[in-house]
Amino acid sequence: MRIIRSCLPAALMLVTASCSDDKPGGRAPEVSEAAPARVRRLTRAEYDNSVFTVVKHPTPVPMAQLLAPEDAILGFTTHDRLQVTSLLADQLDTIADQNWAPVALGTLATEYECAGNKGEEECARAFIKALGARAFRREVLAEEEADLLELWKAVRKESEPKKAAEFVIQAVLTSASFLYRTELGEPGKPGAVVWLTQREIASALSFAITGGPPDAELLAAADADKLVTADAREAQARRLLKTKQSQAYLERFVVEWLGLSGLTSINKNNQVFPDFSAAFKDSSRVETMTFINHVITNEGASVKELLGANYTFADGRMSQFYGTTSTPDGTTGRVPLPANRVGILTHASVLTTYSLFDSSSPIRRGKFVLTRLLCRDIPPPPPSIIIIPPAVTTDSTTRARFAAHTDNPTCAGCHRQLDPIGFGMEDYDGLGKYRTKENGLDVDASGSVEHTNGKFTFKGGAELAKFLSESDDVAECVPLQLFRYVMGRDEDAVDSSMLADMRGRFRADPKLKLGDALVGLVRSPYFVHRRNP
C-alpha cells in the first residue's frame, strides 16, 4: 500500500499550521534576534536512529544503506536542503512496508493488542498516540490522530487488528511528521523571536549530541518544563555525550569534516605504487577508523590528540609500510608512529585521499588543510583555466612539476596559499609512503602556512601536523565545522554569539574536546530560539 505520497505534504502542513497561529508565546524571549524557523529532513543515519526508537527494536538493524545517499554541502551530508525525492519516497515506502512494519508488529504487540475489557477503537487511539508521539517527537495532533484512525478502520473492515496496526506503522514511518524535524517555536506574531517548544528543544538537543531522537529521560525533562535553563541543557548534553550513539555521531562528524567518506572507493595506479592493493586499502581504512574511534571513546574526542598523536592503530601491513613495530600477532593494535609521522594527517588513508591516481598532489593537500582545518575559502579557478594536472615524468619531482602554478599570474593568488602547504607534505608520495627521493632526485619538503599571527615555516608533514594540533586557527575553525554539521547550514551574522560560546568552551580545555563545543552550543540562548516567518 502506497501511503507516503499522500501523507508527506498533508502531514507537514498540519505540523506547520499547528505551530504558527498568532497567540502570544508561553514565555518572553531571552534574545532579540534569532535564526528563522525551519523544517529539516532526516539524514539516512538519523532515519535509522529514529526508527530504532519508534519500533523499540532490541537489536537495531541499519537500513540506511538501502536509501539514496545524501549529497554534501560545506562538506557535510547533514545540511537542511535535503528533500524527499520520488526515488527516496519509493525506497522509504518499501522499507516501511517490507522491513520495519512487520518487525514492529512483534516489538509493539503489547501496544496495539487490545485487552478484553476495552473497546477496540479506544485501544487503536491509544496505540496511535503512543506510536505517533515517539515518531513525531511531540504529541500527536487531533487531525493526525483522526487520519490514522480512519486508516485503521479502513483496513480493519477486511483484516484483523494486527494488519490494521501494520498499516498504521507504515503510515507513521513514511509521514512528513516523522521524516522532518521541526524547529518552529511557540506561537507568536509574524517576525517575532520565540522560544522553541520544550519538545522541540529536547529534539534539537538530542539530535545535536547523538544524531537521534530524545530518550525517555530527556522527554521527561521537556514535559516538566526543565529545559529552559542553560545548566539543565548542559546536564542533559553531558549525559548523552557518554552514550554510544553520541560517539557514533561524532565519528561521522570527524569522517565528513576530514573528507574521508570515500576510503572504500580509493583507487591507485599500482604500477606506480606497487604497495597498493585491495588489502592495503582495507588495512589503511581500518587503521584510521580504529584511531578515530579510540580518540572519541578514550580521549574525550580530543582534536589535539586526533591531530597530534604519536601512535596509531595498525596491522602488520601498515606497520611495515610505516616502518614501525607491529603488534605481536600482526593484527590491528596500538603501535608507535615513527618520527616522520604525527596524528591522523599523516595516515596513509588521508594522504592517499588527497592525492592523484598516479602521484601526490600538493594542491589537494594544501586545499584540504586550508578549507577543512583552517576554515578558509578558496574560490574556484577562473572558467578560462583548464584544470589538468601536470603530466607525470620520470626526470623531475612533483614539486617542480606543480611549481608553475605560482608563476602564472592568473593562478598565483590562490596557489600562493595552497602550494606552500602542499609542498611541505611532499615527503609522502601519492600512497602516503615516506620518501626523501623521487625519481632519484632529492625531495624538497619545505613549506609554510599563513596563520593569524604570521607565517609558520616547516619541513615535512609531521612538523605541519604538530603545528596544526596546537594552532589557535584550528581551535577557531573546528567549532565552526561542528556548527555546520549539527545545525545543517552555513553560519550567519546572528550566529556569532553562539559560535563564541562554542569556541570558548572548546578552548577552555587544552585537549580541545568536541563535546565541550557541543555543550557551548546547547547552552546558548540562540540555540533555543527561532524567528517566526
Q: pLDDT tens for residues 207-251?
A: 999 999 999 999 999 999 999 999 999 999 999 999 999 999 999
Same domain assignment for residues 283 and 362 = yes
pTM for this model (two decimals) = 0.93
Phi/psi at 39 (5° precision): -130, 135
Same domain assignment for residues 110 and 188 = yes
Domain count within the chain: 2
Task: With beta carbons less than 8 A apart as the criterion, state whether 389 and 356 touch.
Answer: yes
Give dist(CA 505, CA 498) in Å, integer: 11
The CA-based angle 394-397-400, given to 5 degrees, is 125
Element (H or E) spanning 183, and its range? strand 180-183
Nearest-CA neighbor of 169 among 115, 212, 106, 211? 106
Query: CA dist 248 to 93, 240, 358, Å?
Result: 26, 12, 34
244-257 and 278-298 helices, crossing angle to 10°: 130
Same domain assignment for residues 161 and 69 = yes
Residue 475 belongs to a domain: no
Residue 219 belongs to a domain: no
Mean confidence (pLDDT) of the chain: 91
Task: With beta carbons less than 8 A apart as the criterion, state whether 514 and 303 touch.
Answer: yes
C-alpha cell of 212? 537521534
Residue 19 amino acid letter: C
Question: What burial class does residue 491 get, using C-beta atoms within 10 Å of its C-beta: 0-12 exposed, 13-18 middle, 19+ buried?
Answer: middle
Q: What is the pLDDT of residue 409?
A: 62
Same domain assignment for residues 61 and 196 = yes
What are the residue ranges of helices labelled H in 267-315?
A: 278-298, 303-308
Q: What is the pLDDT of residue 93?
A: 93
Q: Which domain holds residue 337?
A: 254-381+391-469
Q: What is the pLDDT of residue 22?
A: 37
Phi/psi at 455 (5° precision): -135, 135
Give dist(CA 389, CA 509) in Å, integer: 42
Give dist(CA 96, CA 161) in Å, integer: 18
Q: What is the pLDDT of residue 378?
A: 84
User: Facing residues of 36 across strands?
Assistant: 531
Which pLDDT tens digit goes with each residue over 382-398? 666 666 777 788 888 98
Q: What is the pLDDT of residue 294?
A: 98
Residue 325 amino acid letter: T
Same domain assignment for residues 457 and 330 = yes
Same domain assignment for residues 174 and 265 = no
Residues 6 or more apart whose CB falls under 8 angstroms from that of 195 comprise: 25, 26, 27, 29, 185, 186, 201, 228, 528, 529
Q: What is the pLDDT of residue 226?
A: 97
Given 164, 190, 205, the domain boundary residue is 205
Same domain assignment for residues 110 and 174 = yes
3-state secondary structure at position 394? coil
Same domain assignment for residues 114 and 55 = yes
Residue linked to cell 569556541? 503
Residue 518 belongs to a domain: no
Given 205, 238, 266, the domain boundary residue is 205
Residue 245 belongs to a domain: no
Same domain assignment for residues 273 and 174 = no
Nearest-CA neighbor of 177 among 54, 287, 284, 75? 54
Residue 231 belongs to a domain: no
pLDDT along the chain (533 residues), means of 10: 42 42 63 95 95 86 87 95 94 92 91 83 94 95 96 95 94 96 92 96 98 96 97 98 97 98 95 96 98 98 98 98 97 98 98 96 95 90 69 84 68 74 97 96 96 95 98 98 97 96 98 98 97 93
Given 181, 205, 229, the domain boundary residue is 205
Residue 298 belongs to a domain: yes
Same domain assignment for residues 193 and 259 = no
C-alpha cell of 513? 574536546
Same domain assignment for residues 169 and 50 = yes
Same domain assignment for residues 191 and 266 = no
Residue 353 belongs to a domain: yes
Q: What is the pLDDT of residue 392?
A: 80
Number of Cβ within a 10 Å radius of residue 323? 12
Residue 350 belongs to a domain: yes
